Amino acid sequence: MIPIIAQGLLGIEHFTPPWDVFFLPLFNLLILFYRLLLSDFALAIIVFTVVIRTVLAPLFVRQIRSQKEMQRMQPLIREVQRKHKGNRVKIQEETMALYKEHGVNPAAGCLPVVVQLPILFALYQALIRASNVVTLAADKVSSPDFAKLKAALPGISSIDATHFRAPINGACNLPQFSIPDFTHFLPLNCQLISPLQLHEPIITKIGWLGGLDLAQIDHVFSVVIPGVGFPLSFLALIAAVLQFVQVKMTSPLPNPDDPTSSLTTSMTYTFPLLTVVWGGIFPSGLILYWIVYTGYLVAHQFLIMGWGNLFPIFGWSPPFAPAPATKLAAGQRRQLAPVREEVAVPARQSNPRPDRANSSAGRSANRRSGGRRARGRKR
C-alpha cells in the first residue's frame, strides 16, 4: 500500500521498502527546507535538525527525568556499597535492585545516541545523493554494467577518472540501480515528491561558512595531523565538546565500587572521541547536524535537571556550579535505617571496649530477665 501511495499520489518514481519508508520522508523534508530557505543547504540542515529534535523531545523527557532520579539515588547506592564493601557481586545485585525499585535505567545516557543513529544514517545518505558526486573504483568504471548504465542514463557526466556526477532527471528503475556501487547514480528527482522536484543541482558549498562543502569532509575548518594525514576538524571538536557535556550532565559521580560507574565513565569519553574521528570520515553536513542536535539536547537537559553532574571537570568547578549531593535526604535516611542498624550492631558486639565489659555483662543479664521484651515494646 505504501509504495502505491508514494508512486501514485506523491509522484515518487523509485520506492524500495523497507528502507525508503524511513529514508524518503526525511530526505523530502530536508529538500523542503532547502527550497524554502533560499537554497541554503546549511540553514536547511539546521532547521531540519531542530524540527527532528522537537518531534523527538517527548521521548527524551522521561529518560532525562530518570537520569535525574538516578543522580538523587547516589547516596542510597553509596550506602549499599558501604554495607557490602568488598563483595562486588552483592553490590551489583543490590544496586540493580535499587534501580528496579525506583524505575531507573542505568544505561539511560545511551538512549539519545541510539535513537538518533538511524537518523544519522539517513542524513548521510541524503548528503551523498544531494552532492550528486559518485566515486567508483577503477575496476567498476571499466565494467560492462557501468557501460550499460551510462547508455541507459546519458545524464551521467565525468569529473575525472573515478569521480562522476549523477543526473537530476532520468530513468528511475534501471536494473543497474540494484548493484550497490551504482545505487547513487539514481537521479535526484526519482525520490522526491512532485512539488519538491528540482531543476538545478543542490548547492552544497556554503559561502557564509568559508566555502565549506557540506557534502564533503571538512577541509575548511580543519588541520591535517602531520605524519598521519588525518584531518582534524574544528567542527568535529565542537561536536565532541557538546557530546561530552551532554553525557557528563547525566552521568553518576565516579565510584570504583559501583559496577555501572566504569561503563558510564568510559561512555563519557568514548563518544566524544568517536565524534572527532567521524569528523575526518563523514561529510561536514553530518557534523553540522550533530552540533545542532547535541546543543539542543544539552539545553533541554539543563532546563529539566540544571547542570546535573557536569562539574567538577578534571577537578575544576566554577563558582556557579552546585556542590555534589553527598548526604542522604530525610526520606532516604528513614528508608536506610534498617540497613544502618544491621551493619552497626554486629560491629559493636564483635569488638567491645574493655572498659565497658562490666556494663555489657549487666546489659546481658538484663536481657535474660526480660529486658529484650521491654525494649521491643518501647520501639
Q: How far apart are the first and last CA of the chain?
A: 71
Model-level pTM?
0.73
Angle at 340 between CA 337 and CA 344, to 5 degrees: 140
The residue written with cell numbers 565516579 in the block is 254
How does residue 295 score in pLDDT terms, banded at 50, 70 and 90?
very high
C-alpha cell at position 301: 537537559
pLDDT in tens, 16-66: 878 888 888 889 999 999 999 999 999 999 999 999 889 888 777 766 777
Residue 113 pLDDT = 62
Angle between helices 19-36 and 41-72 (to 10 degrees): 120
- Round to whole Å and give the CA distance between 115 and 127: 20
Residue 46 pLDDT = 96
pLDDT in tens, 161-208: 889 999 999 999 999 998 988 998 999 999 899 899 999 989 999 999
Average pLDDT over residues 130-154: 91
Cα–Cα nearest to 239, from 199, 191, 200, 291? 291
7 HSE (CA, 13 A, CB side): 12
pLDDT in tens, 234-287: 999 999 999 999 888 877 666 665 555 566 667 778 889 999 999 999 999 999
- Round to whole Å and give the CA distance between 319 and 4: 61
Domain borders along the chain are: 37-131+206-305
Residue 366 pLDDT = 47
